[in-house]
Structure 1
């Protein structure tokens, strides 16, 4: 199993019933089912759903469902929802339904953007970890609802929940290079948040 999915599987240990949203070929769902979790594996496009059915064929403990996000679950109770392998917009679309349950999320890109969205939307970050897979950093969060909507978001431009992670300095360096490139190439005045974020990142490098 890929290292990034193995981390999610480990984080799922306390939860009995799991919804795997965007389950792909069912690799994570099968690994969870082998450890006696009850899994709802969800895919939306018809082609992806057919691939899922083929991938989990003969595997007990998995219920495949087709539809958008958690909608196909209906009234079925779950303990946690996993969203891995999607972009920031898709993740936010699913989470903004405001289901009162925890989420484990792992975006394919946009670590800083997803962090900002979590803060703006009032999610409480309970656990966060970076993982290297093939030289690429992936961020994983376990979040729940805090009941606080977007307070002091400008102070949370940098994902400081990872500050104790050994990969955090590398994440900071990568983001500084990205922002400097954007600021240099921009033909319009950059947003204040870009410059403020860059200053916060550079201050972290001096610590």
Structure 2
């Protein structure tokens, strides 16, 4: 497994049954079950080809009796009563938000979610803040030269007041090299947006000022 999946495994809580959504090759759920972090597992994917890869990995490790493979869109059809912890990695934060929003079990306090957005992390965090989810912990890693964040989330039902920059950097502790690399990636994206707004036509002064304020706020967070 790469550093992304390894960090997700390290942040996971011991559970009765874990669901790996968008499982791809199945490495994560197989490792979680094999090491006893999850007693049982569900490997789900929207496409048959990656699910077949996961099936081969499950068979190779002799976990056929402990891991169920499901062809489905997100968490559709997965019984909330069966799952304690949900793992979603390797997709955009906007898609993750849609998957969580549609699932009847997401707004239950007895569920844990480990989330690793590949892009649009600010969209996912905004959704979590607005919909009553609480980010217990967020850490960063670097895989194949690219920085990522992983967050462990529960549902409380309380909407959290938050600063605009928290949608971009969450609760990340910038004392590690991995977190600093993630912060630099966020700043680069915001700088690109700022330049586009500055060079664009029309009255976009409000957006430009908001973006400049975000850049400075993220920089201050990184320096704390």
Given the two structures, how large is their TM-score scaled by the length of structure 1? Answer: 0.86
Check whether the contact 1:158–1:200 (CA below 8 A) recurs between aligned residues. Answer: no
Looking at structure 2, the residues matched to 75 and 161 of structure 1 have their Cα atoms a distance apart, in angstroms, of 28
Looking at structure 2, the residues matched to 62 and 137 of structure 1 have their Cα atoms a distance apart, in angstroms, of 30
Q: Is the aligned partner of 1:105 residue 2:105?
A: no
1:33 is matched with 33
Question: Judging changes above 3 Å, is the alpha-carbon distance between structure 1 residues 107 and 158 closer, same or farther for their aligned structure 2 residues?
Answer: closer
Question: What secondary structure, in the 3-state scheme, does the structure 2 residue paired with 1:41 have?
Answer: strand
- Partner of residue 50 from structure 1, selected from 49, 52, 71: 52
Question: Judging changes above 3 Å, is the alpha-carbon distance between structure 1 residues 87 and 11 closer, same or farther for their aligned structure 2 residues?
Answer: same
Question: What secondary structure, in the 3-state scheme, does the structure 1 residue paired with 2:30 have?
Answer: helix
Q: Is the aligned partner of 1:139 residue 2:149?
A: yes
Tell me whether 171-180 or 132-141 shows the greater mean CA deviation. 171-180
1:45: Cα distance to partner?
Answer: 2.1
Q: Is the aligned partner of 1:23 residue 2:33?
A: no
Looking at structure 2, the residues matched to 41 and 141 of structure 1 have their Cα atoms a distance apart, in angstroms, of 20
1:88: Cα distance to partner?
Answer: 1.1
Query: What are the Cα deviations for residues 31-51 of structure 1, in whole angstroms up to 9, with x where unaligned?
Result: 122123311111112333333
1:79-98 aligned within 5 A: 79-96=84-101, 97=103, 98=106
Question: What secondary structure, in the 3-state scheme, does the structure 2 residue paired with 1:85 have?
Answer: strand
Check whether the contact 2:18–2:40 (CA below 8 A) recurs between aligned residues. Answer: yes
Unpaired runs of at least 5, structure 1: none
Check whether the contact 1:84–1:106 (CA below 8 A) recurs between aligned residues. Answer: yes
Unpaired runs of at least 5, structure 2: none
Check whether the contact 2:114–2:152 (CA below 8 A) recurs between aligned residues. Answer: yes
1:65: Cα distance to partner?
Answer: 1.0
